[in-house]
């Protein structure tokens, strides 16, 4: 029910949002590789891509650990769910948590996921004028394989590498109530974030 150009568009929008909002510093490496849904992101996925030189279905079939941040964007005809998995290891923690922060790891990654999903929301608003976004929620990573039960029209996963050694797994899941077709132009440079617009 979702046209292939719409699927490509959604993916492009996700890439743009992830590259804009996940890295802590603007110049940081942000490498995104498609993977088989449900697999764990890690060095494996990124290295496999380097070997094959193309998008691979690399991922080790093991039980997912840790938690994912879940967000939903709802439109009239569809809903899009974004699930981001962050390894709660030292390199990830060092990357995201600032020294004097009083928030927990969970709260920090929830906010980053919120920004990423917010960027996707802004971009999608150009094509779907009626959209709303939920607040983030943490679920066990073991919930991710059950996305199939929602009977999605589009389900895809990605392995993301930030900086040297931070790995994030992302899953996009879209359920559509009617045919969806659109073409996204992500070439527009984003200028308006962070600036104060006075009324």
Is residue 146 a contact point for another protein (CB under 8 A)?
yes
DSSP state for residue 163 in the 8-state scheme: T
Q: How far apart are CA 128 and CA 22, in angstroms?
A: 24
The rounded Cα 98 to chain-centroid distance in angstroms is 22
- Residue 16 in the binding site for another protein (CB under 8 A): no
In sequence order, the 6+-apart residues with CB closer than 8 A to the CB of 124 are 13, 73, 75, 80, 131
- Told to check if 185 binds another protein by CB under 8 A, we report no
Rounded distance, CA 117 to CA 49, Å? 26
**Residue from 6, 41, 71, 159 that binds another protein (CB under 8 A)?**
71
Closest distance between another protein and the C-beta of residue 53, in Å?
Answer: 34
CB under 8 A: which stretch of 5-13, 32-40, 68-76, 179-187 binds another protein? Answer: 68-76
Contact status: 4 vs another protein (CB under 8 A): no
The span from the CA of 66 to the CA of 78, in Å, is 28
Q: Which of 9, 19, 114, 157 binds another protein (CB under 8 A)?
A: 114
Q: First-to-last CA distance in the chain?
A: 41
Residue 13 found at the interface with another protein (CB under 8 A): no
Give yes or no for residue 125 binding another protein (CB under 8 A).
Answer: yes
- Stretch of 49-57, 123-131, 157-165, 177-185 lying at the interface with another protein (CB under 8 A): 123-131
* Distance from C-alpha of 61 to C-alpha of 175, rounded to nearest angstrom: 25
Residue of 123, 98, 106, 111 lying closest to 14 (CA atoms): 123
Q: Could you say which of 29, 50, 55, 101 contacts another protein (CB under 8 A)?
A: 101
The residue from 50, 60, 142, 177 that contacts another protein (CB under 8 A) is 142
The distance of closest approach from Cβ of residue 106 to another protein in the complex, given in angstroms and rounded to an integer, is: 10
Q: What angle do CA 3, 81, 70 make, to 5 degrees?
A: 165
Site residues (vs another protein, CB under 8 A):
21, 70-76, 79, 81, 100-104, 107-108, 110-111, 114-115, 117-119, 121-122, 125, 129-135, 137, 139-140, 142-144, 146-147, 149-150, 192-199
């Amino acid at each position: 029910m979702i046209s292939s150009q719409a699927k490509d568009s959604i993916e492009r929008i996700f890439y743009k949002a992830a590259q804009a909002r996940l890295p802590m510093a603007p110049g940081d490496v942000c490498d995104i590789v498609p993977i088989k849904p449900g697999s764990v992101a890690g060095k494996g996925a990124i290295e496999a891509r380097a070997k094959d030189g193309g998008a691979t279905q690399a991922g080790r079939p093991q039980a997912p650990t840790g938690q994912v941040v879940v967000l939903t964007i709802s439109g009239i005809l569809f809903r899009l769910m974004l699930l981001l998995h962050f390894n709660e290891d030292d390199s990830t923690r060092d990357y995201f948590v600032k020294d004097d922060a009083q928030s927990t790891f969970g709260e920090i990654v929830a906010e980053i996921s919120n920004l990423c999903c917010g960027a996707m929301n802004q971009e999608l608003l150009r094509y779907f004028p009626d959209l709303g976004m939920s607040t983030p929620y943490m679920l066990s990573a073991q919930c991710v394989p059950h996305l199939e039960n929602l009977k999605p029209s589009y389900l895809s996963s990605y392995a993301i590498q930030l900086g040297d050694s931070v790995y994030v797994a992302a899953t996009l899941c879209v359920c559509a109530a009617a045919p969806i077709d659109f073409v996204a132009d992500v070439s527009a440079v984003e200028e308006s974030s962070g600036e104060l617009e006075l009324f």
